Amino acid sequence: MTGPRGEARTAAMHRLFVAIRPPEPVRDLLIDAMDDSPELRWVSDDNLHLTLRFIGDVERPLADDIAAALGRIRCEPFDLRIAGIGAFELRHGGAVWAGVQPREPLTMLAAKVERLCQTASLTPERRAFHPHFTLARWNRWSAAAAQRLVERNRGLASDPFAVDRFTLFESRLSRHGAHYEVVAEYRLEPS
């Protein structure tokens, strides 16, 4: 496994990503859209998030530099709402996600995070930015359950909610799934 600058992973590395945590009423709405289908691997309340930038494995000094640089981002708070549901196909399965509107403020904030990551000499993110909240993951045998989830929640929508901060998370992977820890929170301030 290699890190975001192509170096080999060591035990001392930190798997980081930058994300937005939804407020509780939005988490409740997303959880209400879920069911008890055992074929899907559901995202827990604690893990619901919208990824702005996956950083990947970095060593402590670089992690500290990134954490400090994120604090220099200037961005106004903005409103988002949940709008729609869909599914990504991955190699051996996929993910069901809730969509968000509007995209522009997220795209602008993600671009600021991306610029900073490149200044910190991370490899540029080549994949297009598709803001979403992952609800569940499926494997190659449970595509039908994922499709049912999408069909049942076609009109998924929330009231607008304020985004006034973003978060640097460290992800710890284990047999029991990912556990995210807050490294730092960054407030969005009106100018």
Which residues contact ligand ATP by CB under 6 A?
15, 17, 51, 54, 137, 171, 173, 177-178
Find the shortest distance in angstroms from Cβ 191 to ligand ATP: 29
Could you tell me the smallest distance in angstroms from the CB atom of residue 189 to ligand ATP?
A: 25
Q: How much helix, strand and coil, in percent to the nearest 5, is found in the chain? A: 25, 40, 35
Closest distance to ligand ATP from the beta carbon of 54 (Å): 3
The residue (of 10 and 189) whose beta carbon lies closer to ligand ATP is: 10
Contacts of 4 by beta carbon, 8 Å cutoff, 6+ apart: 55, 56, 57, 58, 117, 122, 123
Residue type at position 42:
W
Residue 132: strand, helix, or coil: coil
Measured from the CB atom, the residue of 150 and 189 that comes closer to ligand ATP is 150
